[in-house]
Each structure stands twice: as C-alpha cells, then as structure tokens.
Amino acid sequence: MPLPKSIQAEAAELRQALNEHNHRYYVLDAPAITDQAYDRLFRRLQQLEQEYAELASADSPTQRIGSEPASHFESVAHEVAMLSLDNAFDEEEMLAFDRRLRDKLDHAAPLAYCAEPKLDGLAVSLLYEAGELKRAATRGDGRSGENITANVRTVASIALRLLGSDLPERIEVRGEVYMELAGFEALNRKQQETGGKVFANPRNAAAGSLRLLDSRITASRPLSFCSYGIGLIEGAVLPPGQYLQMQYLRAIGLPISRQIELLDSIDDCLDYYRRILDQRDKLAFDIDGVVFKLDDSRLQRQAGFVSRAPRWAIAYKFPAQEVMTRLLDVDFQVGRTGALTPVARLEPVAVGGVMVSNATLHNMDEIERKDIRIGDIVIVRRAGDVIPEVVAPVLQQRDGDLPRPQMPLRCPVCDSEVLQQPGQSAFRCIGGLVCAAQRKEAIKHFASRKAMDIEGLGDKLVEQMVEQNLIESVADLYHLPLEQVAGLDRMADKSARNLLDSLRQSKQTTLARFIFALGIREVGESTAESLAAYFGELDALMDADVESLQRVEDVGPVVAENIRHFFDQENNRAIVEKLIDAGINWPLIEASQQAQTLEGKTYVISGTLEGYSRDQAASLLKARGARVSGSVSAKTTAVITGENPGSKVAKAETLGVEILGQSEFEALIGEDS
C-alpha cells in the first residue's frame, strides 16, 4: 500500500513530540506528560512503523532496542584527540594549578572556572551530522577508539536526533556514559538470579555494558549519559566559554550535569569542591572528584596543552572509595538468630577518608563466588554510610596457593555446634540463649527504636550487662536494680535513673511493637503489624497453628513455621510470661480474624485520616487481606484520602484510579455503622 501523506505527517509529528518529551525528561528534568501518555505516543509510532516499512528511519525514537550482534568493534580514528586530565589531590595542588595558569596567561586577576562533578563512568565521543547521531566511539588510546554506535544508540538519554532548526553541520560531543547506583544494584540482583556476570562497581557495569557485541543486551542495561565537552564543530559558532557551551548542548538536546556552575575564582572552586564532597553520598551516581575548566575559550587556546592533557583543566580527586589492601584473616560474627557472617580483618587502609580495618564479606557463597582467599590483596569499597565491603580479590597479585576461609564447626562465642539448615545458605550456631552473642543481639534488637524503644540502652551498655551477667534475657531488663546499673562503665546515678525511667516508659507499648521486639526470625515490623491486627491478642498468636498463621498478610509457610517454632520453645514462652508479669501492656485492639473482604485489592493512603494513624489504617486494611502500597500505579484499586492529601491524588486522577474519603474508608473496614 502506498504511504498516505497523512500517515507520513502523523509519524513525523509523533517523532518530534517524542523527541521533545525525551528532551524534557532526560535533559531538562521537566517532564510534561505522564509515562503512560508517553507510552501511548510511542506505541502509536511503533504501530505505524510496523505497518508502513517506508517510515523506517535510524533516528526514530523507537530505534533503541539494539540490533543483531556484531562480530567485533571497528576501530575509529578521533579527528580531534581525546585527551586525559591532570589530577590534583589537595588544595595546595589546586592553588598551584591556578598560579601556573595565571603566570602562563600573564593574568593577574582571578580566573573564572566552569566546575562540575567528575562522573565515574566511561568517556565516549558522539558525532552528529546534520543533527543526526552518526557514530559513537570509546576514548581508546585517545587517538583512536572503538566504534560502539549500535550500543550507544540504545542509551535513552542520548539524542538520536538533535533539537532545533539551526544545527551545526557536524558536532562531536564528549561525555561520560555511567550507571546510577539503583540501576547498578538492580542489574547485579538480576545477574545473580540468572547466573550472569556480577559487576564489582557501577563503572565496570557501564563499561561492560557498552562493550557487549549484542546491543540488544545493552538496551536492557540502565545506562545514562552526561556531556562534558565539544571536540569538533563545523557550520556553527560556539559561545565563547565552557559554561555557555554546555548550556548550548542542553538546548540542542543533550544532558549536562545538574551541578554545573560558573565560578569567579580559585577560592570559589575550593568551596565548590567541599560542597560537592558533602553531597557525594546523597547523589544517585558515583563521582570521583570535581573537574574545573578555565571558562574562557580564547584563554584556553592560549594556555594550550602539556603532553596529553589540557593546561586549562584539572580533576580535583576525592579520597578513593575503592582501595586495595591485604586480607589478613576472616573471623565469624554471630547475629541475633545465630547466623554466622564472615568478617574480613584487613591491613588498615584509608577508604573514602576513613581508616578501615574490618569489612563485610556477606556470606560463604559470596566468598566462594568471588574466590577470596586469606592473604589476598583485595579491593575494599566504602560508599556513604554503608558498611565497608570486600568487592573482589586482585587475582594478578595472588602469591601461590592461598587458603580459603572455612566456616568453623563450632561457634566462636559459645562453642555450640554450627549447622547449616537444609535448603538454606546461612550457617547457624545452635546455642540459642546459651550463646552470649545471640543474647546480646536479641537484647539490642528488643531495645531498638522500632521495637520497645528503650532510650539510653545502647549497644555498649547491653554488651556490658551481658558480659557481667546482669541479664540473661530481655525479661531481666525490667528487674535491674539501680545500684547495678549505676555501677556499669560510664554510668552514674543520674544516667542509671534515666535508664530505669525509660525502661518503665517502654512497658506501655503496642502489640505490634512487642511482637517485633521478640525477634522471631523473619518477622519484621510490617509482618508484626499484620499479626497484631489479625490476632488482636498475644495468646491467640502464641497458640495459632501454621495454617491459621498463613492466613495473615505477608506470612508464608516459612515465616509461619518460624513463628510456631518460636512459641514452641518453653524458654521463649517463659520469657514472654515474665515480660507480661513485669507490666508490659498495650491498648486492646479488636481481633480481626475475619473474612478477607479486601483480598486482591491494593490501596494507597494519602493525607491524615481522622482517628487513625497511617500505620493503624494500613493495619486495618491489611488485616482484611488488602495490600497497602506507597505509590499509585495503574494496579492501585483506590487512593484513600484524608486531610491534606499529597500529589498521589493527582496521579490517581491521571491514571483513572478511584479516590475514596474517610467515610468510604470506614465502610471498607466495616466501621461505618
């Protein structure tokens, strides 16, 4: 069938609209339509392109799905060399850089710099001709790289066609392809589940994804792009400085750093560095420093280059978040449920500005998968507040045949047997409350904020109490004599009194908190809430059989067995009784062992409901079999609104999701009569 003019026009309009929406979403951070509306436009264009082969076009927004695998990457010569950057590691080196530059330029006044964070990714070059992405290449050795066009075309934030009418004939844009942390973690989870390669860090994941011969796989990887410079320009005149050039790239459809700033002097650069270092752990992606560029293009040309780096730019590096050190030994820590986790003892090393001598090894499966041996040089990573972890051994540096860490046969704390339950990867000490480590952890959990919330009972204090045999189990907490507490290290009469006061206050709690505080394996806060709402009282829960336990939201066969097993232990029942005798109490709630009238429904709560906290409202819904979610989607049954509802209502309206008020909520939970 010949291609009707109206279809051609519709496809052109759809492409333009989709390109503009991509630009708003990926470059301007200002989307104008919902994801669903975008999908509708996208699917319509796909449908037209399938129906009319003549519409095929390499720069159509639908062409990001990858193509047939290649056998190798062609080599590409860079028309303008891709240089590297000089580094600075402290303020003195930064001041020296600025001084050298001012001397070279004979410029006494402060110089203006353009600053942006240095992304930890992979440098790429994008060549656009008449606005169309023609070729993408890696940096390679700076003179030539590899042609990775097919892969780069799948990166959603890289425009296949630039925006605007007055585009240069040719422009070569440089930037960094990187992976955000959330995407990296999701990718690694998926890789682990499917037996694929697990990546050590987001940078390796980004590099590995860009170097796949099958671009259809690259298309499934969460890659992003950020421009940082222009290599070549023909048929247009660029603005006269780095900062404005970056704004120009943004205007024609390419993402630039959100944190880019134009600074007046080197002192402002030092401030900027401190600000970005402060934000480092809150960013969605890894950065390894800040890049400062002399802003004025004319002065840049005058300054020129030394060997393979521009004289007018510098990367001021952050303390490394990944370093190498030696793994001296592996110890095993015993947790609340008796699980033994391997801990790396390391030759002390500074990571991200902090000295580290211990790091987690996660579990024995991870040790085996990564093939970590005692004595290896290992890569240690510490990012943000997360516990430092051993990422991988450096196999090239392994010296001979090193021993593999072995799970001990007996508990390092109480010498009880260590067993692996069939079908589970964890090894556990079977000592239970005989084991001081398990007792300490159980008491710390019991006292924690989301459990009994015993203010002033910190980890160190619990450890002392157990070590000095003041307490055997959580039940003893409520019978501690003042003098014994006051006699502990770093305690005085006043702090001891305060602690006894908090213990007294903690007795007034909720059933959900109490259940959570007991530390039953795999019973988290949310499950504890569901159990409390369903059973209404402790005795009913303690006596429930596995079948009735499984009627509760979130409780499957394993958790039901754990709960049953916990209450089958005589000593656990005795501890619970002792706690109740000590005066722990909670307001009565109505048992809901009732028909699951809301089974299969999903609700979102927005705003404040009169007479119900959000947790209470959620528990009441869950007790009737509903799911309660934090975000609205097409699958949401209804949004329940109270006073001052938030943006969720607007989202519900867009998606056509039902909106309920207080009285309709009460009707749902059967409290409307």
Q: Which residues bind ligand I6G (CB under 6 A)?
A: 83-85, 116, 118, 123, 176, 228-229, 291, 310, 313
- 116 or 529, CB closer to ligand I6G? 116
CA–CA separation, 160 and 134 (whole Å): 9
Cα four-point dihedral sign 133, 138, 140, 146: negative
Work out how close the CB of 76 gets to ligand I6G at its nearest, in angstroms, rounded to a whole number: 17
In the complex with ligand I6G, the residue whose CB is nearer, 80 or 430, is: 80
Q: Which of 485, 541, 545 is nearest to 516 (CA)?
A: 541
Among residues 104, 118, 134, 440, which one is catalytic?
Answer: 118
d(CA 516, CA 524): 6
Minimum CB distance to ligand I6G smaller for 297 or for 509: 297
Question: Cα–Cα distance between 231 and 227 in angstroms, integer?
Answer: 11
Nearest-approach distance from CB 281 to ligand I6G, in angstroms: 20
Distance of closest approach, residue 284 Cβ to ligand I6G, in angstroms: 18
* SS3 state at 88: strand
- Could you tell me the sign of the dihedral formed by the alpha carbons of 36, 41, 45, 51, in that order? positive
Q: How far is the CB of 193 from ligand I6G (least distance, A)?
A: 34
Look at phi and psi of residue 606 and say left if phi exceeds 0, alpha if psi is from -120 to 50, else beta. Answer: beta
> Which residues are registered as beta bridge partners of 428?
339, 419
- As measured in angstroms, the least distance from the Cβ of 139 to ligand I6G is 8
Choose between 188 and 257: whose C-beta lies nearer to ligand I6G: 257
27 or 462: CB nearest ligand I6G: 27
By C-beta, is 175 or 393 nearer to ligand I6G?
175
Nearer to ligand I6G, 10 or 261 (CB): 261
Question: What number of residues does the chain have?
Answer: 673
Read off the amino acid at residue 505.
Answer: Q
Helix (H), strand (E) at residue 391: strand 389-393
Cβ at position 310, least distance to ligand I6G in Å:
6
Q: Which helix (H) or strand (E) holds 330?
A: strand 322-334
Q: Is 304 buried (19+), middle (13-18) or exposed (0-12) by CB count in 10 A?
A: exposed
- Give yes or no for a contact between 324 and 377, defined as CB atoms under 8 angstroms apart: yes
Burial bucket for residue 400 (CB in 10 Å: 0-12, 13-18, 19+): exposed
β-strand partners of 261: 115
Round to whole Å and give the CA distance between 198 and 328: 25
Catalytic, 190? Answer no
Q: Which of 621, 636, 638, 623 is nearest to 553 (CA)?
A: 623
Burial (CB count within 10 angstroms: exposed 0-12, middle 13-18, buried 19+), residue 187: buried
Burial 582-611 (b: 16+ CB within 10 A, else e): bebebeebeebeeebebeebbbbbbbbbee
End-to-end CA distance of the chain: 65
Which of 131, 289 has the CB closer to ligand I6G?
289
Active site (catalytic) residues: 118
